[in-house]
Amino acid sequence: MNDKKIVNIGGASGYWGESDMAVPQLLAANNHDSKNLDYIVFDYLAEITMSIMARARAKDASRGYALDFVSSVLRQSLPEIAAQGVKIISNAGGVNPVACAKAVRALVQELGLDLRVAVVSGDDILETLSTGAYGAVREMFSGHALPELDKIMSANAYLGAFPIAQALDNGADIVITGRCVDSAVTLGACIHEFGWGADDMDKLAGGSLAGHVIECGPQATGGNFTDWREVAENLAGIGYPIVEVAADGTFVCTKPEGTGGMVSVGTVSEQIVYEIGDPQAYILPDVVCDFSGVKLEDIAKDRVHVHGATGYAAPDTYKASITYLDGFRGLLSLNFTGLEADDKIKVFTDAALARARGKLRAMGAPDYTEISLEILGTECQYGSAAKISKGAREVVGKFAFKHQDQKAINLLFKEITGMALATPAGLSGLGGGRPKPSPVVRLFSCEIPKTDIAISVDMDGEISSAQIAGGQVFDPASIERPQPSVALPKPSAGEMVNVPLVTLAWGRSGDKGDKANIGIIARQPEYLPYIAAALTEEVVAKRFEHFLEGKVERFSMPGLNALNFLLHDVLGGGGMASLRNDPQGKCYAQILLNHPIPIPSHITRNLS
């Protein structure tokens, strides 16, 4: 192995529906800057995406994958991809990777190119579930039993990177997978290029971190950044991330020259803390990662060096994601303008609900299982921490409700629109026709023994069994946990002042099922003790008490001068199961960044 070898990997997609601008941008930069881009990787999948694709496959056996990956992304760029010799790795296969690979092969043939396409299969466990093999399995967080089989929409194990590496070893130019962990598309390339094995745990952790940094595309290059004004000038032309990975698993994060956005310690730190839960037990199929000691260094403009990831042996199970139907929901927005608009919207929705409930009782039907009215414009997302002023003159009400029968959803829609002439004055926003019910899709997460999953690699018809990283039981309680220092100097009376957390820290938040993750990174190391002293688990729980139903855990990441908070049972079910305005906790960091932090007054002189 060449210890000086560098593998350059561009991240082109973070979700299904993202702009298709990334690939042309990365390819143009590869030509112009001679950066020798080796791979472009795509992450399309989330739990709700899998359920949508499952419904598409049920209607048409040739569907169930990210159609635009083939029809748009590859069609416009595949000749240039082939000319530059860049390899493609994508989980665009969704719930039907074989059909996706078939479509890609047809496109390759149509364009007259000489490219080999491999598909990794085995993640779909829906057929296995139908046999009752996992009847005793329990949800890994709640302990609930497996949903009824006729309600299950999709069931997939999160596969790892070694099968992807095997496909590349076999000569693949394009690798298509179904459900794999988001970072596996990057790690697979690293395993292939560097020959890493299952025992190279620190290197696997470093490659996984590289994948984690670029798996959400421009979120590493200024997208969703706390200091958003620093990237606002050319947000339309934001650059997509590139990681330059070394043989030891360390890497540099950068972006194409001349593009918008920025790559800095702040932007990369925010992406590292994003949705990782316990930073010392980030469990992947190929390695258990510890990111608590990761350190960043600005080495040049838009170039950040990342090192310090460590790893433990891979677990002996795969995490499986099962989505299932749990009734229906209705959702609409109501706009009120005028004096006391916030009170008017509450009176209006209460009246519509009373009418619908009266009809349900008359039919002997059950009540709505959940009702949600969030009045945006009154700082309802801030709960008791907000200084809500009564009598708002302009509001938007997000009114949502659930029922097991979609007829009951239509009934309430009818009563809402039917009261449009009986409303308090100032209602608007009922145009565009009456909304329709949509399914409530819930997530059931569980663990499946690796020995139960048969993974295969199909290289243009040549099928081989895939290799995986062996496993052992992992116990997070066995980890030595660093604690942030809260030893503060004792200033004399009157020297402490309150400043908003945002002046001391960057923040990023996101979801894991019904959990929210809030990462807080100190802008300077000397700020961290004051942040840690002020932001206890109890303080954060109080801040989000209007949403929180579970506990709050705080984890330390001394390498980044960061704290990571994990809020349990806080998203109203999360994803498509939630009626919330923010069902994925994307705004939680913004709420917390307004929290007051006591600091010595002399520090404020150094704050911008």
Domain span at 503:
483-604
Residues 297 and 331 in one domain: no
**pLDDT (tens digit per residue) in 204-254:** 999 999 999 999 999 999 999 999 999 999 999 999 999 999 999 999 999
Question: Is 191 within the bounds of a domain?
Answer: yes
Structure token digits, residue 178 = 């179904």
Structure token digits, residue 176 = 């298509």
Query: Which residues have C-beta within 8 Å of that of residue 358, sequence separation ≥ 6?
Result: none
**pLDDT (tens digit per residue) in 141-172:** 889 999 999 999 899 999 999 999 999 999 99
* pLDDT by 10-residue block (mean), the chain, 608 residues: 86 92 92 78 90 90 95 96 97 96 97 97 91 84 90 94 97 97 98 97 98 97 96 94 98 96 98 95 96 97 97 94 94 93 94 97 97 93 71 90 97 94 89 86 92 93 84 83 74 77 97 94 95 96 96 96 97 91 95 94 77
Residues 57 and 191 in one domain: yes
Question: Is 562 within the bounds of a domain?
Answer: yes
Residues 341 and 301 in one domain: no
Question: Is 210 within the bounds of a domain?
Answer: yes
Residues 362 and 261 in one domain: no
Residues 387 and 292 in one domain: no
Question: Is 434 within the bounds of a domain?
Answer: yes
Backbone angles phi, psi at 107, to 5 degrees: -65, -40
Residue for token digits 């057929």?
A: 127
Residues 294 and 334 in one domain: no
Question: Is 468 within the bounds of a domain?
Answer: no
Query: Which residues have C-beta within 8 Å of that of residue 513, sequence separation ≥ 6?
Result: 47, 141, 443, 445, 571, 574, 575
Predicted local distance difference test score (pLDDT) of residue 130: 81
Residues 303 and 355 in one domain: no
Residue spans of beta strands (DSSP E) within 531-576 = 552-557, 562-567
Question: Is 469 within the bounds of a domain?
Answer: no
* CATH number of the domain residue 397 falls in: 3.30.70
Residue for token digits 């470093």?
A: 206
Rounded to whole angstroms, the Cα distance separating 405 from 526 reads: 56
Say how many domains are in the chain.
Answer: 3
Question: Is 141 within the bounds of a domain?
Answer: no
Residues 232 and 84 in one domain: yes
Residues 533 and 431 in one domain: no
Residues 276 and 225 in one domain: yes
Residues 263 and 194 in one domain: yes
185 closest CA partner among 201, 163, 206: 163
DSSP summary character for residue 183: T
pTM of this structure: 0.94
Rounded to whole angstroms, the Cα distance separating 202 from 568 reads: 29
Q: Note the helical H segments in 301-405.
A: 341-363
Amino acid at 100: C
Rounded to whole angstroms, the Cα distance separating 182 from 161 reads: 10
Residues 246 and 305 in one domain: yes
Question: Is 320 within the bounds of a domain?
Answer: no
* Domain stop point among 277, 310, 343: 310
Rounded to whole angstroms, the Cα distance separating 272 from 241 reads: 13
Kind and range of the H or E run holding 255: none
Rounded to whole angstroms, the Cα distance separating 285 from 318 reads: 6
Rounded to whole angstroms, the Cα distance separating 512 from 571 reads: 9
* Domain stop point among 390, 418, 441: 441
CA 462 to mean position of chain CA atoms: 34
Rounded to whole angstroms, the Cα distance separating 287 from 340 reads: 56
